[in-house]
Amino acid sequence: MGRQYEIPVGAQHISLLEPLHFKFTTENEKIIRTDANVYYVHRGIEQACCSKFKFRQVSFVVGRVCGLCSISHTTAYSQVAEKLLKIDIPKRAKYLRMLVIELDRIHSHLLCLSHVAENSGFEALFMKTMQYREFSMELLEAVCGNRIQYDFSIVGGVARDLKPEMGQLILQRLKNFMPQLEELVGIYQHNRTLSLKNKGVGVLSKDDAMRLNVVGPLARAAGLAVDVRNETEDLLPWKEVGFEMITDTAGDVHARNMIRLREIYISIRIIQNIINGLPESALVTETKAFPDGEGTVRLEAPRGELFYYAKGNKTQVLERLKIKAPTFSNVAGMVHAFTGNEYGSAAAIIASYDPCLSCTAR
């Protein structure tokens, strides 16, 4: 038995650009125990949403929970508010919500992949992935008005329409992106250096993923077929626009990379189907009702299941709003999957989890 060392990583760390703190206990370079805490940036957004803002304003507030998956938060909140208001939204608004969610998923997955490359010591691939990601940011800005934190979903529908020429621009840019995506898949799948750093590293088994209630690409890479888009058809018709579940079995960093890359193909297909079959209708369902009763909504954000609980009391201000971010569900699995790995692999493993503490600490 070797000497044991405790190594802190975070809350400010070169390989962990999130306010999350891990304390690794290592023995002969192997991680034998991990402790974590997330107590650095709690912002009290839930409390603000139930005291300082009216329920229609809350969709703009929760859009600030996260810069990366802002559309997931505004959509999930809008959906739960619409449940409490007992309204259905126009079909065109549903399609436009799905379009922005999938554009957002493309940029989020590419960002995660670039961080994995960087934390694996492959800076050229980091730069290439970030360069190729730029088109998705430009499209989001064109569609929503902002590169991040787009207030696109509002209670009752969406805030902006998609003009036909904008739809054609998106299709053209996606077509231009396809060879770049093929190139990235080739590198992430076959590059020897990256394989040495990613294959067999940070393995989370299917049984552990299930036992620890892991969500998102982390779960699907372990073989656990969980995706909210596969389960809820009542709020957004995912299967109608070509959703398909992607899973792997290896459960390692490499498998998470490949899951994200393969999901980008699905996102592209969904966006193409949405634009080619965009129904004509109004954008918003108007109502003068106030939220009443309680309800929940689950939505597949880029990192996995996002959960909103809201309780209304027939006034302008909500009684309670609860947000559960995907990373929150993955904390237990993340802590578990470090054990047995070399400390030197920790940076790549962390990046492959794609943690978002902005969402988690909200």
Partner 1 sequence: MKKIETNLADLKKDIGAFYKPELHHFIVMNAVQSGDKMEVQWFFNDYAYPGETTCFYALISPEEEVPGIKDIVASAWVAEAELVDLMNIKVENTMKGFVLEPDFESGPLLKKK
Of residues 143 and 226, the one with the C-beta less far from partner 1:
226
Q: Minimum distance between the CB of residue 323 and partner 1, rounded to whole angstroms?
A: 9
Query: Quick check: 213 binds partner 1 (CB under 8 A)?
Result: yes
Among 204, 298, 347, 355, binds partner 1 (CB under 8 A): 298
Alpha helices (H) along 147-191: 164-190
Which pairing describes strands 320-324 and 304-313: parallel, antiparallel, or unpaired? Answer: antiparallel
Question: Looking at 46-54, 67-75, 247-255, 346-354, which segment touches partner 1 (CB under 8 A)?
Answer: 46-54
Among 305, 341, 347, 356, binds partner 1 (CB under 8 A): 305
Of residues 53 and 188, the one with the C-beta less far from partner 1:
53
**Distance (Å, whole) CA 89 – CA 339:** 46
Query: Quick check: 230 binds partner 1 (CB under 8 A)?
Result: yes
Query: Quick check: 314 binds partner 1 (CB under 8 A)?
Result: no
Q: Minimum distance between the CB of residue 191 and partner 1, rounded to whole angstroms?
A: 34
Which residues does 305 contact at the CB level (< 8 Å), separation at least 6?
215, 216, 226, 228, 298, 299, 324, 326, 329
Query: Quick check: 73 binds partner 1 (CB under 8 A)?
Result: no
Query: Quick check: 232 binds partner 1 (CB under 8 A)?
Result: yes
What is the sign of the dihedral through the CA atoms of 60, 62, 67 and 71?
Answer: negative
Of residues 234 and 280, the one with the C-beta less far from partner 1:
234
Which of the 8 DSSP states describes residue 29?
T
Among 23, 56, 91, 311, binds partner 1 (CB under 8 A): 311
91-119 and 346-353 helices, crossing angle to 10°: 180
Backbone angles phi, psi at 13, to 5 degrees: -150, 145
Per-residue binding string, partner 1, 25-44, x by CB under 8 A, is ------------xxx--x-x
**Letter string b/e over residues 203-215, b meaning 16 or more CB atoms within 10 A of that residue's CB:** bbbbebbeebebb
- Contact criterion met (CB below 8 Å) for 306 and 181: no
Of residues 46 and 263, the one with the C-beta less far from partner 1:
46
**Distance (Å, whole) CA 182 – CA 163:** 29
Query: Quick check: 295 binds partner 1 (CB under 8 A)?
Result: yes
Q: Give the closest residue to 111 by CA, choosing from 90, 91, 94, 134.
A: 134
Query: Quick check: 332 binds partner 1 (CB under 8 A)?
Result: yes
Q: Minimum distance between the CB of residue 219 and partner 1, rounded to whole angstroms?
A: 9
Which residues does 183 contact at the CB level (< 8 Å), separation at least 6?
none
Q: Contact residues for partner 1 (CB under 8 A)? A: 37-39, 42, 44, 46-47, 50-51, 210-215, 226, 228, 230-234, 294-296, 298, 305, 307, 309, 311, 319-320, 322, 324, 328-329, 331-333, 361
